[in-house]
Amino acid sequence: MSEYKNQPFFKLAIRFGLVFLVVVSIIKIVMAIFNTGSIAGMVNEYFSKDVWQQFVLIQLVMSAIYGLFMAGYYKFIRKQ
């Protein structure tokens, strides 16, 4: 795990955050398709005119927090 210690903090945070963003977004979208029963229901729930900004903002904030936390953990807290 020493490859994490040698990378710049923000590069590591962006990497963790992007992976989290993609994985969580896919999971939320797939779950919404199953919960609403159709793709149209998922689009209405997450991507309609008034709510898509909230969906994107929540995903970005969660990803940024996760990325910063995990980068801090691997860079400064975790013992080798």
Task: Quick: pLDDT tens for 26-60.
Answer: 999 999 999 989 898 888 888 888 888 998 999 99
Structural domain that includes position 58: 2-77
pLDDT at 65: 96
Question: Is the CB of residue 74 less than 8 Å from the CB of residue 21?
Answer: no
Number of structural domains (the chain) is 1
**pTM recorded for the entire structure:** 0.83
Question: Is the CB of residue 1 less than 8 Å from the CB of residue 80?
Answer: yes
pLDDT at 49: 86
Chain-centre distance of CA 17, in angstroms? Answer: 6
Mean pLDDT of the chain: 89
43 vs 45: CA distance, rounded Å = 5
**Exposure of 16 by Cβ count < 10 A (0-12 exposed, 13-18 middle, 19+ buried)?**
buried
